[in-house]
Amino acid sequence: MSELSHRDQEVSDGANLIISMLVRYPEIGTINFEPEDNLLKLTFMISGIPSSNDFESKKRFIINSILAYHMIEGITSSRVDIELSSYEQVAMLTIIRDVHTMSRGEINLMIKLLRDRFNERLVTDHNDALLEEDLLFQEEVIENMLENMRKQYNDQHILIGIREDGRVFVFNK
C-alpha cells in the first residue's frame, strides 16, 4: 500500500470511529481524538451545574466502575480520567480514555452510568430515524475502528467530532 493511501486509511479510521460513536450514542456531544497521546475525550452535556461534592462522588463511582470493568476484562494498564467544566447553566463532563484499551462494551457501560447518575439532566440528541439494525451496524463499525486504531494509527492530526442539530461534523485539526 502506498504511503498516501495508508495515511488516508488512518484518517478514515479515526473519522469513521468518531462519526459512528456520535451517531450511535446521542448522549455524546463532542469527541476529540489526540493521536500524540492516543487519547479519546468524550464530552457529555449536563443541564445545570452539579455541586463539587456531587460531581466528585459521581466521578469516583464512574471511574471505579470503569476500572472494575477493566479488571473483569483483564485490562491491566489504562488511562481513565473525568473532568468537569461549565458554561452558564451547562456542565460539560469529559471522560478521557486511551484508545488502546477502550472497547465498545466499556462505551456502553459509560453511557449507562451517565444515564443512571444524571437522569433527565443528561443532554441527548435523539434521532428516532435510526433503526435497531442501524444501531447494531454502528456498534460493529465502532469495534472494528477501535481495533484498527489500536494496531496502526500513526497520523498526528487531532480529530474533533461535533454533534449539531442532528448532524455530525468531523474536523481534522
Report the pLDDT value the prediction gives residue 138, as an integer from 0 to 100. 81
Q: Is residue 90 part of a domain?
A: yes
Q: Is residue 122 part of a domain?
A: yes
Report the alpha-carbon distance of residue 27 to residue 106 in Å, rounded. Answer: 15
Q: Is residue 97 part of a domain?
A: yes
Name the β-bridge partners of 81: 96
Domain that holds residue 7: 3-164
C-beta neighbour count of 40 within 10 angstroms: 24
Q: Is residue 140 part of a domain?
A: yes
Whether 8 shows a pLDDT value over 60: the answer reads no
Q: Are 31 and 44 in contact (CB under 8 A)?
A: no
Q: Is residue 170 part of a domain?
A: no
Q: Is residue 172 part of a domain?
A: no
Residue 126: exposure state from Cβ atoms within 10 A (0-12, 13-18, ≥19):
exposed
More confident residue, 148 or 21: 21
Q: Is residue 23 part of a domain?
A: yes
If one counts the domains in the chain, the total is 1
Whether 38 shows a pLDDT value over 80: the answer reads yes
Q: Is residue 47 part of a domain?
A: yes
